[in-house]
Chains A and B, each alone.
Chain A
Amino acid sequence: MRTVNAFVGQPIERLEDFRFVRGRGQYVDDLARNDMLHAAILRSSVAHGRIRSIDVSPARKIAGVHAVITAADLGTPVPLVPMRLQPMPEFEAFGQPVMARDKVRYVGEALAMVLADSAAIAEDALSAIDVDIEPLPAVSNWQASAANETLLFENKGSNVTMVFRAVRGDAAASFKDAPYTRRERFNTQRHTALPMEPRGLLAEWDAARGRMTVSGAAKVLFANRRILAKQLGLAEDAIDMIEYDVGGSFGARGEFYPEDFLIPFAARHVGRPVKWTEDRREHLMTMNHAREAACDVEIACTRDGVILGLRGHAFVDMGAYMRTNGAVGARNIAQFMSGAYRVPNIDLDVTLLLSNKTPVGTYRGPGRFETDFFRERLFDMVARDLGIDRVAFRRRNLVAADEMPYAVAAIAPFPSKDELDSGDYQATLDRCLAEFGWAEKTKLQGRCIDGSYHGLAACCFIEGGAAGPKESARLVLETDGTLTVYMGSSGVGQGLETAFAQIAADAMDMPMDRINNVFHGSTTYVSDGYGSYHSRSIVMGGSAVLDAATKLKAAMCAEAARRLNCGAAEVLLADGRATAPDGKSVAWAELAPQPLSIEGAFSNHKHTWAYGAHAAHVAVDAKTGAVELIDYVAVENCGRMINPLTLKGQLVGAVVQGLGGAFLEHLAYDENGQLLTGSLADYLIPTASDFPQIRGYVMESHPSPINPLGAKGAGEGGIIPVGGVIANAIADALSSFGVEPRDLPLSPSRIWQLIQDARQ
C-alpha cells in the first residue's frame, strides 16, 4: 500500500544550507572575469545644491583608470528610475535621474563613476574629481517640506508628491455625538532594511551579439529587465538578468536603483565586464530608507469600547525622489490603520513629502510597522481612559471569523480595494496569551522589582501577502526520470529551493531527492516572472508549481497511454512509473526520451492575510531608561504551512528586526541634511546578546480561499506589531509615572527623558 507524499507541512532542513555552511554560496561579489573593470561612484556630500561644475580630467590621468562617466555622458534627458508599483503619472516628475546633472538632492546621490583596473584605483580616482556645488537650504524634515519654502523641484511648486486618502463608511458622522474620542500624535523614525550583503552588480556586454548580461540582480528581475531595456534601447530578450545567492533583501535589495542602469551602461561604454560592490557607508546613504512617518490620529468609541471610527492625517517623509516602490509604505499606512480590527468608519489622509534625504522604499512590513505602532499605542491609551482591560478592548473589536471576507478602507486616488480573506483572530490571541502566561504575569504590571518597573503588552496584527498579477513555474521531467524546477520567483535568502521542492514533490507524488534542483530568479528560466515581494513567493510561485505539475502529469499520462494502449485518464503515476489498468507499466525516464518541459502559471488579484498576536514583558530601569526584554511571544497563522522550520525562522528573525526598529535603529540627519549614521558603529542593529528571549509559534487553520495551496504569505508578519507591543509594554511598566511613549526608537535616553518630563 503506497502512501501519498506529505512533504508540505514538514519541518524539512533546507537544501540550500549545504552550500552556505561550507562557504560555497555564490554571491555577486564572488564573481570575477579576466578582463573585468571595477566601478566606483562619486557621491554628493551636499544634501541640496546646484551643480556648477564637475571636472573629471585629473581622475582620467590616473594610471589604471579607463573611463570616468558623468551625467553629461548619459544622453539627454538623463534616464529616470521609474515607479514599479503605483506608477501614477503624478509621480513621474519626481523620479530620480540615474546620475545628478543640474541639482543634487541628497547626500549620497551619484555624481560621477570611475572605471578602473581595481576597486582601489577607482576609489583613489574619486578623490581626484573636482566638484563645485552651490549649496541650497536643505529640507531636513517633513514640517520644513510642508512649508514649501525650499522646493526640491522648483517647477512643481510643492514638495508634496501625492495625498492618499483611505475611506470607509462615514467617519464624520461617527465622530459627531461620539460618546468618547481621543486624538494623539505619534512618530516613527527613519530606518532601513540593512541586508548583510552589500549591493553589487557585474554587467557584461557582448557587442557582437548585442546582448547584455547583468549578474547580481535580485527580487524583481523581470521588472528590472523591462526598465533597463527601455533605458538602454535594447529589446527585453537582449538582456539576461542573472540571480546568484542573495544576502537578504527585506524589500530593499533588488529594486531598480540608479546603479542598475549605471553599471550595465558602463559595461557597454567600455566594452568590458564591469563590477561594482558598494561599501557599507554607501549602502547606508543610497539604499532605500523607510519608516519615517508622523501621524495625527483620532478615534471615536462607545464607552464600553466599541470602535466607531478613525480619522486623521499622516505625513510620510519620502526623501529626495519617488523611487520604484516608494509609495507603498505611505499607501499602507492609509489602508491598514484599522489592522485586524473592525473599524466601520475611516477617513485618513496620508501626505507624501519630499526632503533632502535618501529616497525611501519598502522595508519588510512597509507602512504596517508604522501604522501598528500608531494604532496599538492609541488603543492602550483608550482602554486606560475607558477603564477597560487592554486585551478585552482588542477582543471586542477584532474582525470575527464569520465576518470574512471583510472589506478594508478603499484608497484614492490609486484605486485599490482589499478584503481580509479568512481567519480566527481571537484564536491566535488566545494562543499567544496562553504561551506567554499572560494570566500569571498580569500581577507584575507596573510593579517595581529591584529597581526595575515591569510591564506587559499584547497586540494583534495582520500581514498582507500574495501580490498579483501572476507567477510562472516550469517543470522539466529529465531523461533519467528526475525533475528540475524553474521558478519566476526570486530567492533572497528565505529558503525557496526547499519550499518549492516540497511543493513540487507532493504535486508530482515523488521523493524530494528525485528533484535535481530548484532554479529561480533569473530571466533565462521562465517566460515571465514577478519575483519576491509582498510575501508572495510561496502563494504565487507555489500555486504556479501546482499548475505546472498538473500539466506535466497530463502530458506524462498522455505519453504513457500511447505506449501502454490505454486511456490517459486510466494511467496511474506512482513510484516513478506510469501504470496501465492491466498492470503494464513504463518508467518515468522512458516517457522523456528528450527532457519534457512544461510551464505553468498562477494568476491572482486578491491578497492573503496571515495574522497573529504578539506579547511582551519588559523591565525598565527608571534611573537609566534601559529596557530589558524579559519575554517575547509571537504567534502567526498562515493558513497552511509549507515548512514550519523556515516559517518559524522568519517569524523570529522578523521579530528581532522589529526590536531593532523599536529600540535601536535610526538613520539620523542633521539640519543640513547630513547623514549622521553612516557606519554600523553608528547605525545599531540587534546583536546576539540584546534579545535572548524570543519565542515564536506558527499555526495553520482557515486556509486562504484564494489559492489552491491555501497558503498565506508570511515572511513579514513578525516585524509588524513589534514597535507597538514594545512601546505599550514600556508604557505599562511606567504607568505610575504616566509615561506615554509617542515616538520611536525607544532608546534609553528617550525613555529617561520621558520619565523626567513626567516627574515635572
Chain B
Amino acid sequence: MPVTFEVNGKSVSVEVEPRLTLADCLRHHLRLTGTHVGCEHGICGSCTVLVDGAAVRSCLILAVQAEGAKVVTVEGLSRDEGLTPLQASFRKHHALQCGFCTPGMITTAHALLSEEPDCDADRVREVLSGNLCRCTGYIPIIEAVLDARAAYKRGGTGA
C-alpha cells in the first residue's frame, strides 16, 4: 500500500507491504542506511529515529504508521561538511568504537537535549538506558552528551 511521509525535510512516497517496519523502509526502500537494526524487538535502540520530534524505535512501528509524519534520521541530523556539536562531542569523548549503536545514540540524545538542554547526568543515563552499546561502557557517551548541552542551551538545535 502507498505511504507518504517526510524524511529529513523531503516528502517521500513509497509503495510498501503493510508489514514492513519503518526501519526496513528507511534502510532498504529509501536507502538511508545510517539507521541500524540491532534486535528487531525494541530493546537495543540502534534503530532510533525522530518521528514528529520524538525518539522512536523504527523497528517497532510500521512504515504505514508514519503516514503524514515528519521523520528525521541520523543523516538528517548531519551536515554535508564537518560535524554538529553533538557529533563533535561524541568524537572528542571517544563515545563510539564500532559505531553501530551510534546513530541511535545521536538521535536519542538529540531528542533529549532539544527538550531538556539542562538535563543532568542522571537524566542522560536514564534516557540513554534504552540504547545498548557493547563497546564503550557508556561512560564516554554520557560525558559526550553532557558536554553537548551548551550547543542546545542557547536555543540552538545542536544539529
A interface residues, Cβ below 8 angstroms from B:
13-14, 16-27, 29-30, 32, 120, 193-198, 245-248, 250, 279-280, 492-495, 645-646, 648-650, 652-657, 679-681, 685-692, 694
* B38 on the A face (CB < 8 A): yes
Contact A656 B138 (CB under 8 A): yes
| 1/0 contact string of B24-40 vs chain A (CB within 8 Å) | 00011001111111111
Tell me the smallest distance from the CB of A706 to a CB of chain B, in Å: 27
CB contact between A17 and one of B20, B39, B40, B96 (< 8 Å): that residue: B96
Collect the chain A residues with CB atoms within 8 Å of residue B121's CB: 692
What are 26 pairs between A and B in contact, CB < 8 Å?
A17-B90, A17-B96, A21-B87, A21-B91, A22-B78, A23-B74, A23-B78, A25-B102, A30-B33, A32-B31, A196-B134, A196-B135, A198-B38, A245-B98, A247-B36, A248-B98, A280-B41, A280-B44, A650-B97, A652-B140, A653-B135, A656-B137, A680-B132, A685-B132, A687-B129, A688-B124
In the assembled complex, B10 has its CB within 8 A of some CB on chain A:
no
CB contacts (< 8 Å) of B106 on chain A: these are: 21, 23
Minimum CB–CB distance for A43 against chain B, Å:
16
B98: contacting residue among A18, A195, A652, CB under 8 A: A195
The reply to whether B39 and A680 form a contact with Cβ atoms under 8 Å apart is: yes
Complex CA–CA separation, A30 to B137 (angstroms):
26
Q: Which of A21, A30, A650, A681 has the most CB of B within 10 A?
A: A21
CB distance from B26 to the nearest CB of A (A): 11
Q: Which residues of B contact A195 (CB under 8 A)?
A: 98, 100, 134
Assembly CA distance A709 to B90 (angstroms): 29
B43 contacts A by Cβ under 8 Å: yes
Q: Answer yes or no: B103 CB below 8 A from chain A CBs.
A: yes
Ranked nearest first, the 9 interchain pairs of A and B with the lowest CB-CB distance are A23-B34, A493-B98, A20-B99, A247-B100, A656-B137, A23-B74, A30-B33, A680-B43, A21-B87
Distance in angstroms between the alpha carbons of A196 and B138 in the assembled complex? 14
B-chain residues with CB within 8 Å of residue A694 when the two chains form the complex: 137, 139
Known A-B contacts A22-B75, A32-B31; the reply to A692 vs B134 at CB < 8 A is no
With A656-B137, A680-B44 known as contacts, the answer to whether A13 contacts B92 (CB < 8 A) is yes
Q: Which residues of B contact A19 (CB under 8 A)?
A: 99
Distance of A67 from chain B, by nearest CB (Å) = 21
Contacts of B46 in A (CB 8 A): 196
Q: Which of A196, A197, A649, A692 is B94 in contact with, Cβ under 8 Å? A: A649
Residue among A194, A247, A656, A690 with max Cβ neighbours from chain B (10 Å): A247
Q: Which residues of A sit under 8 angstroms from B74, Cβ to Cβ? A: 22-23
Query: Which residues from A are CB-within-8-Å of B137?
Result: 652-657, 686, 691, 694
Contact B138 A687 (CB under 8 A): yes
Q: Which residue from chain B places its CB closest to the CB of A196 in the assembled complex? A: B100
- Measured in the bound complex, the distance between the Cα atoms of B95 and A495 in whole Å is 12
Give the residue among A13, A492, A493, A653 with the most B Cβ atoms within 10 A: A653
Chain B min CB distance to A542 (Å): 18
Please measure, in the bound complex, the distance between the C-alpha atom of A194 and the C-alpha atom of B101, giving whole angstroms: 13
Q: Which residue of A lies closest to B39 (CB)?
A: A280
Contact A21 B83 (CB under 8 A): yes
B131: Cβ under 8 A from any A Cβ = yes
B38–A196 CB distance below 8 A: yes
Question: Nearest chain-B residue to A655 (Cβ)?
Answer: B137
Any A CB within 8 A of the CB of B128: yes
A685 to B133, CA, bound (A): 9
Shortest Cβ distance from residue B35 to the other chain A in the assembled complex, whole angstroms: 7
CB-defined contacts of B22 to chain A, threshold 8 Å = none
Say yes or no: A23-B33 contact (C-beta < 8 A), given A17-B90, A492-B98: yes
Asked if A13 meets B19 with Cβ closer than 8 Å, knowing A247-B98, A692-B121, the reply is no
Q: Are B35 and A23 in contact (CB under 8 A)?
A: yes
Residues of B contacting A280 in the complex (Cβ-Cβ under 8 angstroms): 38-41, 44
A131 to chain B, nearest CB (A): 24
Give A198 to B137 CA distance when docked, in angstroms: 19
Minimal beta-carbon separation of A167 from chain B (angstroms): 37
Q: Which of B31, B35, B139 has the most CB of A within 10 A?
A: B139
- In chain A, what residue has the closest Cβ to B135? A653
**Inter-subunit contact B98/A246 (CB<8 Å):** yes
Smallest distance from the beta carbon of A286 to chain B beta carbons, Å? 15
Closest to A250 in B: B134
B residues in contact with A681, CB < 8 Å: 41, 43
User: Distance (Å) between the CB of B21 and the closest chain A CB?
Assistant: 10
CB pair A197–B100 under 8 Å, yes or no, is: yes
Residue B141, interface by CB 8 Å: yes
In the bound complex, do residue B96 and residue A248 qualify as a contact, i.e. CB atoms below 8 Å apart? no
Instruction: Give the residues in chain B near A16, CB-CB below 8 Å.
Output: 99
Q: Is B153 part of the binding interface, using a Cβ–Cβ cutoff of 8 Å?
A: no
Complex interface: chain A residues within 8 A of B19 (CB): 120
- The contact of A20 among B96, B124, B125, by CB within 8 Å, is B96
CA distance A14 to B38 in the complex (A): 24
- Nearest-neighbour CB distance to chain B for A629, whole angstroms, equals 12
CA distance A318 to B143 in the complex (A): 40
Q: For the complex, give the distance between the alpha carbons of A26 and B31 in Å.
A: 12
Contacting residues, chain A, for B17 (C-beta < 8 A): 120
The answer, yes or no, to whether B114 is at the interface (CB within 8 Å) is: no
* A197 engages B36 (CB within 8 Å): yes
Residues of B within 8 A of A20 (CB): 96, 99, 102
User: Nearest Cβ distance between residue B92 and chain A, in whole angstroms?
Assistant: 6
Q: Tell me the residues in window 113-159 of chain B with beta carbons closer than 8 Å to chain A beta carbons.
A: 121, 124-126, 128-142
Knowing A17-B91, A198-B38, A649-B94, the reply to whether A688 touches B99 (Cβ < 8 A) is no
Bound-complex Cα distance A492 to B132 (A): 17
- Beta-carbon contact of A652 and B139 below 8 Å: yes
Q: Which residues of B contact A656 (CB under 8 A)?
A: 136-139
Q: Is the CB of A248 within 8 A of B140?
A: no
Q: Which residues of B contact A279 (CB under 8 A)?
A: 40
A654 to B138, CA, bound (A): 11
Would B128 and A688 count as touching, CB distance under 8 A? yes
Tell me, in angstroms, the Cα distance from A198 to B134 when the chains sit together.
Answer: 12
Is the pair B97, A494 in contact by a Cβ cutoff of 8 Å?
A: yes
Q: Which residue of B lies closest to A248 (CB)?
A: B98
Assembled-state Cα–Cα distance A20/B33 (Å): 11
Q: Does B73 contact A (CB under 8 A)?
A: yes
- Indicate if the CB atoms of A32 and B28 lie closer than 8 Å: yes
In Å, the complex CA distance between A120 and B19 comes to 9
Interchain CA distance A653-B137 in the complex, whole Å: 4
Task: Closest A residue to B138 by CB, please name it.
Answer: A688
* Nearest CB on A from B101, distance (A): 5
**Are A196 and B97 in contact, with the CB atoms below 8 A?**
no
Measured between alpha carbons, how far is A195 from B19 in the docked complex, in Å?
Answer: 27
Q: Does the CB pair A649–B97 fall under 8 Å?
A: yes
Q: Which residues in A have their C-beta under 8 angstroms from that of B87?
A: 21-22
Shortest beta-carbon distance from B22 to chain A in Å: 15
Docked-complex contact B132 and A653, CB < 8 angstroms? no
CB closest chain-A residue, reference B96: A20
A652 touching B136, Cβ below 8 Å: yes
Which A residues touch B97, using CB under 8 A? 248, 493-495, 646, 649-650, 653
Q: How far is the CA of A278 from the CA of B18 in the complex (A)?
A: 22
Given contacts A120-B20, A680-B43, 12 further A-B contacts (CB under 8 A): A13-B92, A21-B91, A196-B98, A196-B100, A197-B36, A248-B97, A280-B41, A646-B94, A688-B125, A688-B128, A688-B129, A694-B139
User: Which residues from B are CB-within-8-Å of A685?
Assistant: 132, 134
Among B41, B100, B125, the most chain A Cβ lie within 10 Å of the Cβ of: B100
Closest Cβ neighbor of A30 among chain B residues: B33
B73 neighbours in A (Cβ, 8 Å): 23
Find chain A residues with CB under 8 A from B90 CB. 17, 21
Most chain B C-beta atoms within 10 Å of own C-beta, residue among A14, A196, A247:
A196
Whether A680 contacts B100 by the Cβ 8 Å rule is: no
The reply to whether A13 and B94 contact each other, CB–CB distance below 8 Å, is: yes
